Structure 1
Amino acid sequence: MIWLTWRQLRTQATAVLAALAALAVLLAATGPHLAGLHTTAGRGLVQQLSPTDTTLYFVGGVTVLLVPALIGMFWGAPLVSRELETGTHRLAWNQGVTRTRWLVTKLTLAGLTATAATALISLAVTWWSSPVDQAVAAGGSDNTDNFVPRIDPAIFSARGIVPLGYAAFAFALGVLFGIVIRRTLPAMAATLATYTAALLSMPMWIREHLAPAATITVPFTHDRMANYLLDSVSHVDTGKPDVWVTAERTLDATGHPAHAMPPAYTDCESIKSCIDALAKAGYHQRVTYQAADNFWPLQWAETGVFLGLAVGLGVLCVWWTRRRLS
């Protein structure tokens, strides 16, 4: 069963692994230079990145995000559905191989290969990008929003160990859709849609609750509130360049949520005078954020969530195969 499963998987596995290996070699060849540049430039590294370095930075991140989705679509979804479409699953069952062994062998071999490949490329990208991430954490910037702290949702999912959780989840999800739908192309489409929804839902509603958040109260000053709007988000300078701001709330002089501006605010003629009016009225901003120290606790927690979901989907795959397939 192991050899048969590998023969069925080897084409798409070879293609993906070859592409990832090529990227890993490129990262290994250029990474030491980037680390050396960071040693001399410090937080100014971001402004000294070459076009090639910048391209690799973004290509690496995008690749890590795409690999789990591709695994779910091209490894997971066809793994069983292709055999169900052609009827070859009955050949194995009629040769004394139980349904459970047949499926568990496929899930184990393909799933572990997919997860290991994703983990290796994610760790390679994390290692290569670490000088840039350290420079950004120290306050380095290229005067754009292109480079953000690694705890920021824009790149958190492309760092550390969490992509291996995504890969395991996407793979198991694809297998389940393949078993239930029994047609490869619809199963691939359903896998992509569901995986994308899960990936977007995590930073929007769930991730911020996986580790204790910190809260600070920021006084109104022109420097900190240059782009302020009532109940705005991510416009307040917390003085911490490496945090993920998850919520902001404007408070009045009594410390309660403000639902309207003071009268002086409506008559101000410039941003500075508007901010000064709020400061004189005793208004301030309450900012809730995830600190940089929570990066790894969030990584472990989110990885655990997706690995748990993957195990649950795997159990459901086995149950469906034993009870519903014929």
Structure 2
Amino acid sequence: MSLSALSSSGGGFGGWARRLWRGCGARLSGVVWVSARQGRTVFGATLATLTVVCGWLTYQGHEVSSYVTAHHLQGCTIGYEPWRCEGTSAAVSALDDAYGSTVESTGLVLIALPPALGLFCGAPLLAKELESGTYQFAWSQSISRTRWLAGRLGVLFAVTLVGATILAVVSTWWVNTVLGRFPAYYHWYTGMSRSTSGPVVVGFCLLGVALGAAIGLLVRRTVTSIAVTAVVMSGLRVLIDRLRLAFVRPETISAPVHLVAVGPESPTGLSALLAPALPPDATLVDNGFLTAGGLRIPQPTDMNSTSGSDQLSCPSNEPLCLAHQHEVVRAYADIHSAAANWPMMVTETAMCLVLTMLLTAFCFVWIRRVP
């Protein structure tokens, strides 16, 4: 059966797709049409899932937003100090009781969606063709390997890009609606809020598809490709999450030091209180003391923006602190404030897109080695 014959067969999905494209002034043909037709089940399931998820996000976000407005909680910073919600503790508790568990579950679903695209769309895309041998028929129809691969990847990337963009818009609105409202979802830098909003959603979706396709091309077994993709994608998520911190420089704040009684063996020592200079939404990277010569003496501490343990003291058990305690002039803290959120997301997205392009290029190189 030729490609033209295959494209003309079937009246349901094929007829609907042809009418849509003709109405837009364009027409699918050749390997692109075959790829779209062969993937109609996967694309339909993806569209249905996207519709359900976006509908649920819209409904839940509207419910939370209506509750917040009705109980005047717009300015609250629930989940970390200071709350700024004086006299609303009952309403805050009721909000968490009503929506807290479902908000957390929804966040976990959003985190799982980009890897799921790689597992169920990207990995079987080429592995299934290579495992069954159907790719040989396409290559016998005067279609080059690179053209066949471009059609297979191009359609999936296009569908993923459109769907991921829609999901990113809706999920970003949802994250901004629930952010700061629940103890399990209260920081801009938590995994659920950071990985489920903004361009990061699109980046991870495209990366999942590219990774699945590349592994499928290498392994040539559908089930094995899915398993390997799951493991590698999990590792990449962790790696990219760590690397984002290396590309965004933290802010440094400082505070004066004071002589205080620190213990019977050292009757006086240095102490610093950094809390007044810390934004309530900051995440701590490092802290310690500074000497007049610019030497940094890192200090272990539980200090962060969400607890009352925010005091540094020296002498401590570190020999470096003991040796230089008389040279200390100020205390410091390296932090990331909420202003670093978008630079970090752009950094993560850029890393995802670079990896996506590299994996796609690998597919076009490796396809020539397939017998």
- TM-score (norm. length: structure 1): 0.78
1:1-326 correspondence to structure 2 within 5 Å: 1-39=31-69, 40-44=72-76, 46=78, 47=92, 48-133=94-179, 136=180, 144=183, 146-204=184-242, 206-218=243-255, 237=275, 239-245=278-284, 247-251=285-289, 256-258=295-297, 285-321=331-367, 323-326=368-371
Q: CA deviation at 1:172?
A: 0.6
Q: Looking at both structures, which has the greater relative contact order when contacts are Cα pairs under 8 Å and sequence separation is at least 6?
A: 1
Change (3 A) 1:149 1:283: farther
Change (3 A) 1:182 1:287: same
- Root mean square deviation, CA, Å: 3.1
Change (3 A) 1:183 1:44: same
In the alignment of these two chains, the number of paired residues is: 292
- Could you tell me how far apart the structure 1 residues matched to 2:209 and 2:299 are? 49
Gapped regions of structure 1 (runs ≥ 5): 222-235, 262-270
For the residue of structure 1 that corresponds to 2:75, the secondary structure is helix
- Could you tell me how far apart the structure 1 residues matched to 2:336 and 2:110 are? 23
Change (3 A) 1:52 1:105: farther
For the residue of structure 2 that corresponds to 1:240, the secondary structure is coil
- Could you tell me how far apart the structure 2 residues matched to 1:313 and 1:272 are? 45
For the residue of structure 1 that corresponds to 2:342, the secondary structure is helix
- Could you tell me how far apart the structure 2 residues matched to 1:214 and 1:272 are? 17
- Residues 220 and 276, structure 1, Cα contact 8 Å, conserved in 2: no
- Could you tell me how far apart the structure 2 residues matched to 1:283 and 1:190 are? 53
Whose radius of gyration is greater, 1 or 2?
A: 2
- Could you tell me how far apart the structure 1 residues matched to 2:370 and 2:132 are? 14
Higher mean alpha-carbon deviation, 181-190 vs 250-259, is at: 250-259
- TM-score (norm. length: structure 2): 0.69
Greater strand share, structure number: 2
- Could you tell me how far apart the structure 1 residues matched to 2:103 and 2:169 are? 13
Change (3 A) 1:276 1:297: closer
Q: CA deviation at 1:116?
A: 2.5
- Could you tell me how far apart the structure 1 residues matched to 2:136 and 2:345 are? 42
Q: CA deviation at 1:125?
A: 2.0
Q: What residue number does 2:269 align with?
A: none
- Could you tell me how far apart the structure 1 residues matched to 2:286 and 2:281 are? 17
- The letter of the residue matching 1:148 is Y
Equivalent pairs: percent with the same residue?
A: 24
- Could you tell me how far apart the structure 2 residues matched to 1:24 and 1:85 are? 35
- Could you tell me how far apart the structure 1 residues matched to 2:312 and 2:157 are? 57
- Could you tell me how far apart the structure 1 residues matched to 2:311 and 2:130 are? 70
Gapped regions of structure 2 (runs ≥ 5): 1-30, 79-91, 259-273, 301-308, 317-324
- Could you tell me how far apart the structure 1 residues matched to 2:345 and 2:310 are? 40
